[in-house]
Structure formats: C-alpha cells, structure tokens
Amino acid sequence: MTKLIIFTDLHMVPEGGTIIGIDPYRRLANGIAHVNRHHADADRVIFAGDLTHEADRPSYERLRGLLGELVPPTAIMVGNHDRREVFLDVFADAATDENGFVQQVIDFADCRAILLDTLHAPPYDYPVSHAGYLCDRRLSWLDRQLADAGDRPALIFMHHPPHVTGFAGIDMIRLINEGDFYELVKRHGNVRHIFAGHVHRTISGSSRGIPFSIFKSPVHQQPMPFHIPDASLSVDEPAAYGIALVTADGVLVHTEDYEIASRDAAVA
C-alpha cells in the first residue's frame, strides 16, 4: 500500500517575512516535523506548487534547507507563484521532462504517480499567468506516461484544478484548457484519482467521472464565501497536509490538520 503525503501552496517568504501575520517557514517546519514523527514511512512527500510567494531566490533557498529535514523522499512541483528558471537554479537536481518542464513520473508497485507542470509562463504576465495551462508538449508527455502505465492505475498531481471548484475568483484562474486535459485522460481510462492545490481549501468530489482531492495550505486559506471574485483574499485557519493511501480497491484520502491534531485519544 503506497502512502503519499501532499503539501501544497507553501508560499515561502524571505527571512522575517509574513503573510497576513503568519510565518510560512514556521508553519511548514511544524508540518515537516509532524510528518517525520508520524509518517516517516511515507513513500513520497509531494509538494504541489506555489513553493514561494514571490518566486525570489532567498525564499527558494530557505525552502531547500527546510525540505532537507524531511525523513521520507520528496518530489517537487511548481505553481503560479513560482518562476521555473529560479526554482531550477536553486533546486538544480529537480526532475524535469525533455522540454525542461518540472514534470516527472514515479512508479510504485501499485500505482504510477504523474506530476504535471501547469505553470502558464514564461512570460510571467499577471494575472494571465496565475491561470494554469498544459501546452501541446506537456499534453503529449502526459499522453505517453498514461499509455506506458501498464497495469498500474495512474494518479495525477497538478497545481491547478482542471475543473470548477465553486469559488468564483479561483475558478477564473483554474486550468484554462481543461477540455483538452479531460479528453486525453478519459481516452486512456486508467486515471484513478486527480490531486490538486491552488484553492487553499479541502475539497473532494468527482469531475467527468474521475475522483479528485484538493488540499488546504500550510499557511493561509481561501475564505469560504463562494461568490468573492478576488482570489487573493486569505484567512488564518489551521495548517494542513493531505495523505493518500493506495489500496487494492482504490484510493483513500485524508486531511491532517496538523497544528490542532492530537495523537492521544480521550475516553469520555
């Protein structure tokens, strides 16, 4: 049974920086310590994009040092708050495909994990590049990885959700060519689950008949009112990461609100 830990939307800042008064470094450090304490047996810890807040080198360097404290192995993706070239300059050993996109396949005994690069840049033209996009080269790469999966069910990880989530502001900057994505995925028929970030909320459901899970951030969260058109608003709620367990029958998905979690059960 493969166990995967998923962090998304880390929004690391330079030393001394905060976001709405929250220290992203401290929040993530607490999460890493929690994983080391309770999930050191994880097969992979996946960081699903928005690694930094402003895509600056000092933030990537702080993050690299912090990730070095993890006991399980890591896999790293990029999101709309990242700059691919700065990330790769700091994380020189990060996996990329033949075209330089931050994409990789990880094969486990019971599944194939496919990590996509949905960053719609360069050029880094905001707000346009806050939306996600899979160009023809990335779709072709995904096509090959799904075709080569063999008997293993595929799990797709991507920063941008490829469908609406109900949040007006976020839905305007989701994956903009979701039709192309789902046409390809449905043609293969072997995708068991889709995982995403970007929304800073815990959301689960299905789209086009495929189950999906979206996770909260270790830092700030999306306000719950659905109609708000501003995707940049944030609230201070407990930090979280996701846990995915691959079973013979499917995929189990949990959310760990690690800052308020307790391992000690009380008898009433």
Residue carrying the six token digits 């293969």: 188
What is the chain's alpha carbon radius of gyration, rounded to the nearest angstrom?
17
Q: What is the pLDDT of residues 133-147, one digit of tens each?
A: 999 999 999 999 999
Distance CA 243, CA 76 (A): 16
Sheet holding 251-256, edge to edge: 74-77, 44-48, 3-7, 241-246, 251-256
Instruction: Assess whether pLDDT exceeds 80 at residue 32.
Output: yes
What would the pLDDT profile of 2-25 be if each residue is shown by its tens digit?
Answer: 999 999 999 999 999 999 999 999
- The predicted structure's pLDDT at residue 210: 97
pLDDT band at residue 127 under the 50/70/90 scheme: confident
- All structural domains of the chain, each given as residue ranges with its CATH number in brackets, are 3-256 (3.60.21.10)
pLDDT of residue 126: 83
Q: What digits encode the pLDDT tens for the residues 160-184?
A: 999 999 989 889 999 999 999 999 9
Mean pLDDT of the residues in the chain: 94
Which DSSP letter does residue 209 get? T
Examine the pLDDT at 268 and tell me if it is beyond 70. Answer: no
Residue 39 has pLDDT above 90, yes or no: yes
Residue 1 · residue 110 · CB < 8 Å: yes
Per-residue pLDDT at 169: 87
Mean pLDDT (whole number) for 252-266: 82
Mean pLDDT, residues 152-158: 97
Whether the CB-CB separation of 42 and 2 falls below 8 Å is answered with: no
As a whole number, mean pLDDT of residues 183-189 equals: 97
Q: Which stretches within the chain are classed as H helix? A: 24-38, 57-67, 84-90, 136-147, 168-171, 178-188
Percent of the chain with pLDDT over 70: 97
